[in-house]
């Protein structure tokens, strides 16, 4: 504008017009400067998003622009002014939001408040210093008279507050131009107050959400499946221990937080959910920079972003504390189950021992008697013979007891139904999840998805898997380095075979067969029944169970089960 004015000056030919043009240019220049100042003031006011800041900005701009010495900005209490401003406002509820000098009380003369607030008039009037609303009465005895400007702040026809200014330079200061600028500022401010209120409400809502998420240890996120960037709430940053400056969060930064053991499954679950657009839910662990581990549950559902990208939106909950208490409960339950198992095994063992002990007692006594009959002078061979016969008879009885135990496992307890081997194993693995975690064992499964259902006793089969997996975990307990449990299934020749491989201490080839003998144990607290029972169960299904030493380290236990139980048709095997 100023350059244009200068060009105008240079290109002007008519000298007579010069003065007028010059005067116009000066005026224009003044107005331009003023407009720029006003624009800046508008910006300053519009930029403020809090009541306090807005009132301050309005007051500072008004004081600077008008040259007034004192002033104040009034608003109603509690941010309710826009909704509640009515005839009773503001004498009872007015609040000083900003003032210069700062003050606690603001005493607007009744007539002034009536005119400004009720009639929405802009009032300029001269008065003694006693009439000042912003000066403490004790101090105002002396001093120059003041001119007061009081301007209502009006938004959508309602008075929401007032701008109050005092000048000591007489009424000349508040020129019509000044008043019109003040009026513009006031209306801009009134609009801004509304935005500020909305913003405050938003901030409050947001604060509630942040606090709520903190308390609930729950963060919300939105993951763009195209850009792989995530936006997340503050609580998510805490849960994942990511700096707040990382925004949005790249997928790599997220990946780096996930426990390496859980990452493959998580990525698989994410990929599955993305391709199926199905609701996502997954539990995994997060590792913090200090090494501490959090358990989280992430849930989400798919949604289209405004840009048309597929986004996963959801919530991540930190369930570490729940896990700890769940763990305590699980520990107690496991201890109880172990005790119950031992007790029932104890009972079982007790009755087995009793059953075997009876013939054993008879054998021992008869054998001793036999020797005594023979040791007589002369030997009583008839009696000795009878005793010896009883030994033979009772040995047979003991054998029958053991045979009976075998048939106990083989026949009476098996209930054959169609069983999906993979599912059955997976159910066991769910039960053992915590044990695997605690033992630091990485699970690798390789299931043949084409396995046909087989005829088997599901519970007994799970017993076998449970035993073999527990053994594998125990075999790896004392081993340093990676502990991997590999479980695989396949089908061949009408049999399903399941292999359970560990990276534990392995087995001594010499003891490979002893392993399956009852009461044989290499463990401190074992009863030595586990593997023998496993073998009996598998045998009762018409399958086989064996152990092999792995070429690298550890051992593999494999069992096979026929798909169909022909055994039942062809009689006892």
- Does residue number 388 form part of the binding site for another protein (CB under 8 A)? no
Peptide bond preceding 513 in cis form (omega within 30 of 0):
no
| Pick 286 or 391: Cβ nearer another protein | 391
Applying CB under 8 A, the span of 285-293, 367-375, 433-441, 442-450 interacting with another protein comes to 367-375
Stretch that binds another protein, among 67-75, 96-104, 254-262, 387-395 (CB under 8 A): 387-395
Among 31, 34, 368, 446, binds another protein (CB under 8 A): 368
Cα–Cα dist 380/466, whole Å = 57
**CA pair distance 402, 542, nearest whole angstrom:** 20
CB closer to another protein, 5 vs 356 = 356
DSSP string, 431-443: HTHHHHHHTTEEE
Q: Which of 28, 330, 365, 512 binds another protein (CB under 8 A)?
A: 365
> Among residues 393, 418, 508, 513, which is the contact residue for another protein, using CB under 8 A?
393
* Helix 51-66 / helix 176-216 crossing angle, nearest 10 deg: 160
Q: Is 372 in the site for another protein (CB under 8 A)?
A: yes
Q: Contact region for another protein (CB under 8 A) — 297-305, 350-358, 435-443, 534-542?
A: 350-358
Size of the site for another protein (CB under 8 A): 26
156 vs 351, beta carbon nearer another protein: 351
Q: Where are the alpha helices (DSSP H) in 141-262?
A: 176-216, 234-240, 251-257
| Cβ distance to another protein smaller for residue 110 or 382 | 382
Comparing CB distances to another protein, the nearer of 33 and 353 is 353
Which span sits near another protein by CB under 8 A: 34-42, 280-288, 304-312, 360-368? 360-368
Q: Output the CA angle 117-118-120, nearest 5 degrees.
A: 65
Q: Is 369 in the site for another protein (CB under 8 A)?
A: yes
CA distances from residue 218 to 234, 256, 316, 387 in whole angstroms, order as listed: 10, 20, 6, 80
Residues 243-272 that bind another protein (CB under 8 A): none
> Exposed, middle or buried, 499 (CB in 10 Å: 0-12/13-18/19+)?
middle
By beta-carbon proximity to another protein, the closer residue of 69 and 365 is: 365
- Give the range of 37-45, 234-242, 295-303, 379-387 binding another protein by CB under 8 A: 379-387
Specify whether the CB–CB gap between 489 and 497 falls below 8 A: yes
CB of 390 to another protein, least distance (A): 6
In this structure, what token pair is assigned to residue 101?
A: 């000098």
Burial of residue 57 (number of CB atoms within 10 Å: 0-12, 13-18, 19+):
buried
The two tokens of residue 483 are 């502990």
Q: Which helix (H) or strand (E) holds 395?
A: helix 381-407
- Closer to another protein by Cβ: residue 50 or 357: 357
Q: Which of 350, 403, 404, 494 binds another protein (CB under 8 A)?
A: 350
**Binder of another protein out of 81, 363, 456, 487 (CB under 8 A):** 363
Using CB under 8 A, pick the residue from 50, 206, 361, 399 that binds another protein.
Answer: 361
Residue pair 155/193 in contact (Cβ under 8 Å)? The answer is yes
By the 8 A CB rule, do 557 and 489 touch? no
The residues binding another protein (CB under 8 A) are 350, 353-354, 357-366, 368-369, 372-373, 376, 380, 383, 386-387, 390, 393-394, 397
């Amino acid at each position: 504008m100023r350059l244009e004015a200068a060009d105008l000056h240079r290109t002007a030919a008519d000298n007579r017009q010069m003065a007028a043009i010059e005067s116009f240019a000066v005026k224009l220049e003044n107005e331009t400067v003023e407009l720029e100042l006003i624009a800046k003031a508008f910006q300053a006011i519009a930029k403020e998003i809090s009541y306090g800041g807005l009132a301050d900005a309005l007051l500072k701009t008004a004081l600077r622009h008008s040259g007034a010495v004192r002033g104040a900005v009034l608003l109603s209490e509690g941010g309710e002014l826009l909704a509640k401003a009515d005839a009773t406002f503001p004498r009872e509820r007015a609040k000083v939001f900003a003032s210069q000098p700062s003050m606690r009380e603001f005493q607007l003369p009744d007539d002034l408040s009536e005119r400004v607030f009720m009639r929405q008039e802009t009032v300029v009037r001269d008065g003694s210093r006693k009439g000042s609303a912003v000066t403490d009465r004790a101090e105002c005895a002396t001093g120059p008279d003041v001119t007061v400007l009081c301007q209502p702040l009006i938004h959508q026809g309602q008075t929401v507050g007032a701008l109050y200014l005092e000048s000591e330079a007489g009424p000349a200061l508040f020129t019509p131009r000044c008043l019109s600028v003040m009026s513009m500022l006031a209306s801009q401010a009134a609009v801004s107050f509304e935005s500020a209120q909305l913003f405050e409400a938003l901030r409050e809502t947001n604060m509630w959400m942040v606090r709520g998420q903190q308390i609930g240890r729950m963060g919300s996120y939105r993951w763009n499946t195209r850009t792989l960037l995530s936006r997340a709430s503050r609580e998510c940053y805490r849960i994942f221990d990511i700096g707040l400056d990382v925004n949005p969060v790249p997928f790599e930064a997220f990946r780096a937080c996930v426990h390496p053991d859980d990452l493959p499954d998580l990525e698989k679950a994410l990929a599955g959910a993305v391709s199926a657009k199905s609701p996502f839910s997954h539990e995994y662990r997060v590792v913090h920079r200090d090494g501490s581990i959090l358990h989280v549950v992430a849930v989400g559902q798919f949604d289209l972003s405004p840009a048309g990208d597929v986004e996963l939106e959801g919530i991540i909950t930190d369930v570490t504390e729940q896990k700890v208490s769940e763990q305590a409960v699980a520990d107690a339950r496991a201890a109880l189950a172990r005790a119950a198992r031992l007790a029932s095994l104890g009972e079982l063992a007790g009755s087995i021992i009793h059953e075997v002990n009876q013939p054993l007692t008879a054998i021992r006594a008869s054998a001793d008697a036999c020797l005594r009959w023979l040791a007589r002078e002369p030997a009583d061979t008839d009696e000795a013979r009878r005793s010896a016969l009883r030994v033979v008879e009772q040995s047979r009885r003991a054998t029958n007891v053991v045979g009976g135990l075998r048939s106990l496992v083989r026949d009476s307890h098996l209930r054959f139904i169609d069983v999906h081997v993979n599912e059955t194993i997976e159910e066991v693995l769910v039960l053992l999840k915590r044990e695997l975690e605690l033992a630091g064992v990485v699970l690798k499964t390789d299931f043949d998805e084409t396995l046909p259902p087989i005829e088997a006793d599901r519970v007994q089969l799970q017993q076998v898997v449970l035993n073999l997996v527990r053994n594998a975990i125990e075999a790896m307990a004392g081993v340093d380095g990676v502990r991997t449990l590999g479980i695989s299934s396949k089908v061949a020749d009408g049999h399903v075979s399941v292999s359970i491989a560990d990276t534990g201490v392995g087995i001594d080839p010499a003891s490979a067969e002893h392993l399956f003998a009852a009461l044989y144990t290499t463990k401190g607290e074992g009863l030595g029944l586990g593997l023998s029972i496993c073998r009996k169960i598998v045998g009762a299904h018409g399958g086989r169970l064996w152990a092999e030493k792995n070429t690298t380290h550890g051992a593999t236990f494999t069992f096979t089960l026929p798909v169909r139980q022909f055994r039942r048709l062809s009689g006892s095997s």
